[in-house]
Amino acid sequence: MTITFDDARAIAATSKSVRDYWGDYRILDWGWENDQEFVLVYDLIDPEVVPFDIPALLVDKRTGKLREVYGLVGNPPAPN
């Protein structure tokens, strides 16, 4: 199974833990990728929320599994 970028966007839009902690968000129509994962970019809807240490949302290209990566200040979320 290989998923598309649009598939990855739909999967990333389902992150219950991000929504529960940060509120509503929207997945933008651009991001990054390497050979294994898509890195999705999202925007928090509530302008009052200060996005400190929000997770990167990565979707595996083969399995479609969503992974949330925290603590990235100064570190890339995925290799390459």
- Summarised one tens digit per residue, pLDDT across range 5-48 is 999 999 999 988 888 888 899 999 999 999 999 999 898 998 88
Closest CA to 30 of 5, 2, 55: 5
Beta strands in 1-80 (DSSP E): 25-33, 37-44, 56-60, 66-69
Maximum distance among all Cα pairs of the chain, rounded to whole angstroms: 39
Task: State the pLDDT confidence band at 71, using cuts at 50, 70 and 90.
Answer: low
Pairing of the two strands 66-69 and 56-60: antiparallel
Collapsing DSSP states into helix, strand and coil, what is residue 12? Answer: helix
The answer to whether the pTM exceeds 0.75 is yes
